Amino acid sequence: MTTKKENRVMVTVIGQDRVGIIAGVATILADAGANILDISQTIMQEEFFAMIMVVDMEGAKLPFDELKITLEEKGKSLGVQIMAQHEDVFKFMHRI
């Protein structure tokens, strides 16, 4: 299955590790009808959580702006920072 790049979103999560972070983010994305295409996560020094997800928004029922706010609010309740950006913005901000 090929996904149009303009429909892809990068979701980043950073903060203190705790139970439920991946489940919380994945649930919001699933409820919105967004599809996780790729996920990378790590625990650094046994306490810091970092995750990046590539998400396909093509079939999403929720507009990107609403999803972004929902993820940010979930981050606050989990004690982590969650950021969602369109893939092209993410790539532009992280170019070398």
Determine how β-strand 48-56 pairs with β-strand 8-16.
antiparallel
Q: What is the CATH number of the domain that holds 52?
A: 3.30.70.260
Phi and psi angles of residue 61, each rounded to the nearest 5 degrees, phi first: -90, -15
Give 65-84 pLDDT, tens digit per residue.
999 999 999 999 999 999 99
Confidence (pTM): 0.84
How many domains in the chain?
A: 1
Cβ atoms within 10 A of the Cβ of 41, count? 14
- Helix orientation angle between 64-78 and 21-32, rounded to the nearest 10 degrees: 160
Task: State yes or no: pLDDT of 87 exceeds 70.
Answer: no
- Give residue 49's domain range: 5-93
What number of CA atoms fall less than 13 Å from residue 11's CA on the CB side?
33
